[in-house]
A = this chain, B = another copy of it.
């Protein structure tokens, strides 16, 4: 029989396995689970994670204890399994109880850590044969399950389309706020993509735009980008997408030296007008702590002159040319015209986007766009999954 101990979290932790046995060692406890797994828990770690009301404020579930206020030579006077809970008496007098579901979810033996790593969501790479996930506006606005389904597609594939969106200017904000607040930039909260005589970016011309990420000039590129079609009567202007992670994977396989150059040699991106002057030095491909591709930073029209050591310059040009050439290969490219009432929502740090040139004399073309960060996407997914 289980008696739930407090947990410093709003999540719930299912019981995976009962606690079977506990042994006290010099600086840690060794816990054996009913399914045979053995997990060490250091005294400092357990004391640090005591969920009692004097260590964690019950309203916010945030810690008030600071571990530095506990003796660094703290030991467990006794440790036992009591009504299913791990129960510890500490030297100095404090007493802690741990829920076995919570404890298993945070165990840091090698097996538990490998298990959690394996359970992390993985990117599903795509190419020209990608079956574009399409979602219905009305369902997303009403049904939390449809919303979750959309957000998981964004997280894992990085490109989606929504149909049935009202075509009044500003409608985009309604669906964006189903995820969270919008991330403002120097282009505003919602930006209008139209051809303008006094353009402050090539995006606001009728030129073709090569495959790029938006705002590579910032330390953190926006996570999600929305592009909502209000009017599209002009000839041309088709949207083009490639999976930047798929291209990076192919480059890694086909030319590992070029791949490494784009991971290691930083490049400056610049976005400058009369009122702002953004500059950011960063590599084109960023890897996460496990060496997986986590981000592509690329916009040829916003790139500054390369500033690598002279001996690296030929390799950097070879790698950069190769990457751009790959973004132009048919095998990777998805080309679609967006109609009024439709919107693209994609991972701006993964899915590069482009636009064919259009003819502003042939008819009106008006898109609105906005950004939301990956943090908001992942938070919303976790809340919907509770």
Contacts and interface: CB of A to CB of B under 8 A. Distances in A.
Contacts of A270: 9
A61 B272 contact: yes
A308 interface: yes
A319 to B, nearest CB: 11
A131 interface: no
B184 A183 contact: yes
Interface string A56-72: 01011111101110001
B375 A63 contact: no
Nearest to A185: B181
B378 A279 contact: yes
Contacts of A386: 277
A202 interface: yes
Interface of A: 9-11, 27-28, 40, 42, 44-45, 48-49, 57, 59-64, 66-68, 72, 106, 108-110, 113, 180-186, 197-202, 204-205, 207, 210, 217-220, 266, 270, 272-281, 289, 300-303, 305-310, 313-314, 317-318, 320-321, 324-325, 328, 373-376, 378-380, 382-383, 386
Contacts of A303: 63
B113 A45 contact: no
A214 B205 CA distance: 39
Contact of A202 (B11, B57, B204, B383): B57
Nearest to A188: B181
Given A10-B273, A45-B317, A279-B378, 13 more contacts: A42-B314, A44-B313, A45-B306, A45-B313, A57-B207, A60-B200, A66-B210, A66-B324, A72-B317, A218-B373, A266-B289, A278-B379, A279-B382
A378 B276 CA distance: 9
B305 A45 contact: yes
B59 A199 contact: yes
A309 B202 contact: no
A201 B62 contact: yes
A305 B49 contact: yes
A138 B276 CA distance: 23
Contacts of A373: 218-219
A48 B207 contact: no
Given A42-B314, A279-B382, A314-B27, A72 B10 contact: no
Contacts of A110: 309-310
A275 B383 contact: yes
A187 to B, nearest CB: 10
A297 to B, nearest CB: 14
B300 A198 contact: no
